[in-house]
Each structure stands twice: as structure tokens, then as C-alpha cells.
Amino acid sequence: MPGQRQTNCLFVSDLHGSGHRYGMLFAAISERRPDVVFLGGDLLPSGMLQFASGTVHDDFINEFLAGELDRLRKAIGLAYPRIFAILGNDDARFEEPAMLDVAARGLWHYAHNRRFQVRHYEIHGYSFVPPTPFLLKDWERYDVSRYVDPGAVPPEEGFRTVPMSESEITFTTIQDDLARLAGDRDLSHSVFLFHAPPYKSTLDRAALDGKMVDHVPLDVHVGSIAVARFIQERQPLVTLHGHIHESARITGAWRDLIGRTHMFNAAHDGPELALISFTLEDPGSATRELL
């Protein structure tokens, strides 16, 4: 609509504690003054490896992220954006209290399993991914059933940094979670900040070509069936994803469509920051830069 104010957004994911990537992100926020910034999970330095090895690491969230965001807020004042953040499957869940501490300081909104309003848009966040071959299970759920792909480790195995009841581990699915999160609302003006990409899209293509487990070929698509079905059936405005770093390189695509829903994946398997820019009024004009 002519003259309509645009809601400018930046989206990044899978920064994995990289100082370079965070530096480029903070510089982009300072220069471009977006209205909204989305952080799509796997934000911290290799939580699984550090926890498993028992090494003591700095408080990355409070000492680095909160410190840098506080400096940025002081520098740009009223231009400081609304920031929505979730954790990913490589981020230990014991970091959740720190995420909430930073939210209490007004530096971001911790979005997992929550809903927020930005103008006439709704923002939802959801961290869980289907079972993976990795051992940290804090952010893994069964997808639509208790099936586990060959090569993946079931949610009952591996380890967790925060206890979870046996019944929740065994019987809760991503499909059920999303139904509860969305309710029966109209989602045509909603953004969903996921970590998992939708199954069998251009956004979930893993480098598993020709690989087998017990003579069974591995599926090269490793996204969530529940997320794909949810998008197909509920048609939110925009969905944001990460998790599969190599997908954009393999498929040549960082974006996809299911019906009317625009889907973006900001994960990247190079050293650069993959920065996606879009507006909520015209998500089809989104762009991606490697910085």
C-alpha cells in the first residue's frame, strides 16, 4: 500500500558464538536501524562440547551478548530494535535463565513457546528440532510420531542439561506443541521463528548423499515434517529457520514458499554472517548478504 510504513527486519541464525558474525550483526543494526531483529538459535559457542568436556566457559550471554547489546542501545537510543531470540539444538538449555535475565533488562524478547505483538503482526518462537545424530537432547522432540531416522539418536538417549520428565520426552511431539502455540488464531499476519526448517524443502538439505547406516540410505532432507505440515495448513506470513548450515550451498536457495508463506533459512556453512533483510509488508522482496 503506498505510503504504508514498512517494518524493516533483519534475521540471522546459527552464529555459534562467532565474534566476527556478531560484530557484523551489531554493525548492521547500528547502520541500518531495523525495527525488528530475529536471532534463530544456535547462538552460543558449542554448548554441547563445552558441557560434555566439563570445561568452564565465560558467561557468553550476560558478559558478551548483553554487554554488546547494552552498548548498542546506548549508542542508537530510540532506534534500538525489538529483538526476538530463541536457542537452538546446540545451545544448552541451562542457559535459559540467562536468556530470561537479558529479556528482563529489555535487551531482547526470549521467544521460545511465546507470542508477542509488533504493530499488527504476531511473533511466535519455537526452538525444538526433530531427533538428530547429536547427543545433546535439550532441544529435541519427536516430530509427528516416535519414529527416528536411521543414524539419529532418540530423545530418550544422549544427555540433557535440564531435567525433563520421561512422559514429556516420550510422548510430546513438535506437532502437538505447534498446535498449542498457534491455537485457532488467524496466522496470516504472523511470523514464526523456528530453529528447524520444514521437511523436503530447499531449506533442509543435508550433505548426506550416498551415506548409509546398517545398509539403509540416509534421507538427505532432515527438516521437520510437523513444521512443514503446520506451514501448509496454517499459512503464516513468514517463517524463519536455521539448523542446516549447508542447505543453501547445496540447493542454491536460502528461501522457499509453501502456499503463501515465505520461508527463509539464515544458516550458513562459511565463516561469513548470512544476513537476511525483509519487510513484513513485502516479504517477497527479501535479500540475503554474506558479510
Q: Give exposure, 2-35, as e/b (b: 16+ Cβ within 10 Å).
A: eeeeebbbbbbbbbbbbeebbebbbebbeeeebb
- Mean pLDDT, residues 235-243 taken together: 98
155-162, long-range: CB < 8 A, 24+ apart: 155/131, 158/134, 159/52, 159/135, 160/93, 160/136, 161/47, 161/51, 161/92, 161/93, 161/94, 161/136, 162/93, 162/94, 162/96, 162/138
- Mean pLDDT, residues 193-218 taken together: 96
DSSP-derived secondary structure for 199-247: TTSTT-B-S-TT-EETTEEPPSB-SBHHHHHHHHHH--SEEEE-S-TTH
Q: Taking 90 as the threshold, does the pLDDT of residue 196 lie above it?
A: yes
Which tens digit of pLDDT belongs to each residue from 148-179?
Answer: 999 999 999 999 999 999 999 999 999 999 99
CA atoms of 99 and 107, how far apart (whole Å): 10
SS3 73: helix
> Which residues have C-beta within 8 Å of that of residue 111, sequence separation ≥ 6?
84, 85, 86, 123, 124, 125, 193
Phi/psi at 70 (5° precision): -65, -40
Cα distances (angstroms) measured from residue 234 to each of 53, 123, 178, 259: 42, 15, 10, 10
Q: Taking 60 as the threshold, does the pLDDT of residue 223 lie above it?
A: yes
- Mean pLDDT, residues 174-194 taken together: 98
Domains defined along the chain, listed by start = 8-290 (3.60.21.10)
Cα distances (angstroms) measured from residue 13 to each of 25, 69, 119, 161: 11, 17, 24, 22
- Mean pLDDT, residues 209-223 taken together: 94
Q: For residues 254, 258, 259 and 263, what is the CA-based torsion angle, rounded to 10 degrees?
A: -40
Which tens digit of pLDDT belongs to each residue from 35-89?
Answer: 999 999 999 997 544 444 343 346 999 999 999 999 999 999 999 999 999 999 9
- Bridge partner residues of 245 (DSSP): none
Rounded to two decimals, the pTM is 0.95
**Could you give the count of Cα atoms lying within 13 Å of 251 in the half-sphere of its Cβ?**
21
Which tens digit of pLDDT belongs to each residue from 257-282?
Answer: 999 999 999 999 999 999 999 999 99
Look at residues 39, 59, 38 and name the one whose alpha carbon lies nearest to residue 47. 59
